[in-house]
């Protein structure tokens, strides 16, 4: 994909799953969400490299060691009638921060979105993560103040799938 003098960016390979999984756990701890993490390395491997991959990943290596990853997938915009590239997670190991690796990963993803004729490249950011918000805005991203993420998981998802959503009397 792209190279700099110290970071090589390439598509993830099956051998990278353990390193990516370790960084996903670090990210969960940083975001104070590790109590919600049920993922396993096998689940990640299947999601990236199984018979029906759900996502893709790029990794950045420094001296042969994976120090950053970006996990993404395609979504779709009905208004644009084009696919988009959605960045689920971007993480740079603590020891590798401050070297421009996050910027290089975003540039590589933007290049991929352009190559794939995507109508947009988007992601979410936690509202308390001011450093990330400032970084993304500095890269030209608009933080969408009028949009909120809606999520249904666990028992609520099971109930909704059965036509018995929580909080709605029937």
**Would 98 be classed as within a structural domain?**
yes
**Would 165 be classed as within a structural domain?**
no
**Would 151 be classed as within a structural domain?**
no
The answer to whether 58 touches 105, Cβ cutoff 8 Å, is yes
| Dihedral-angle region of residue 116 (phi above 0 means left; psi in -120 to 50 means alpha; beta otherwise) | alpha
Q: 97: domain CATH number?
A: 3.40.630.30
The pLDDT value recorded for residue 166 is 73
Q: What predicted TM-score, i.e. pTM, was given to this entire model?
A: 0.90
d(CA 6, CA 16): 18
3-state secondary structure of 66: strand
**Would 163 be classed as within a structural domain?**
no
**Would 6 be classed as within a structural domain?**
yes
At 93, list the tokens: 């190991």
Range of the domain at 53: 2-145
**Would 101 be classed as within a structural domain?**
yes
**Would 167 be classed as within a structural domain?**
no
User: Rounded to 10 degrees, what is the CA torsion of 139, 135, 55, 119?
Assistant: -30
pLDDT tens, position by position, for the chain (170 residues)?
544 458 999 999 999 999 999 999 999 999 999 999 999 999 999 999 999 999 999 999 999 999 999 999 999 999 999 999 999 999 999 999 999 999 999 999 999 999 999 999 999 998 988 999 999 999 999 999 898 889 898 899 999 999 988 775 55
**Would 126 be classed as within a structural domain?**
yes
- Please tell me the total count of domains within the chain: 1
């Amino acid at each position: 994909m792209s190279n700099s003098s110290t970071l090589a960016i390439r598509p993830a390979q099956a051998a990278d799953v353990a390193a990516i999984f370790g960084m996903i756990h670090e990210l969960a701890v940083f975001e104070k969400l590790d109590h919600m993490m049920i993922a396993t390395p096998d689940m990640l491997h299947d999601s990236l490299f199984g018979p029906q991959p759900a996502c893709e990943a790029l990794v950045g290596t420094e001296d042969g060691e994976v120090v950053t990853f970006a996990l993404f997938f395609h979504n779709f915009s009905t208004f644009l009638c084009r696919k988009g590239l959605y960045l689920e997670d971007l993480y740079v190991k603590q020891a590798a921060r401050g070297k421009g690796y996050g910027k290089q990963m975003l540039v590589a993803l933007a290049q991929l979105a352009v190559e794939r004729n995507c109508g947009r490249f988007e992601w979410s950011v936690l509202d308390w993560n001011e450093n990330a918000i400032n970084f993304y805005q500095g890269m030209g991203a608009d933080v969408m103040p009028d949009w909120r993420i809606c999520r249904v998981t666990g028992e609520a998802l099971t109930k909704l799938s059965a036509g018995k959503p929580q909080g709605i009397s029937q």
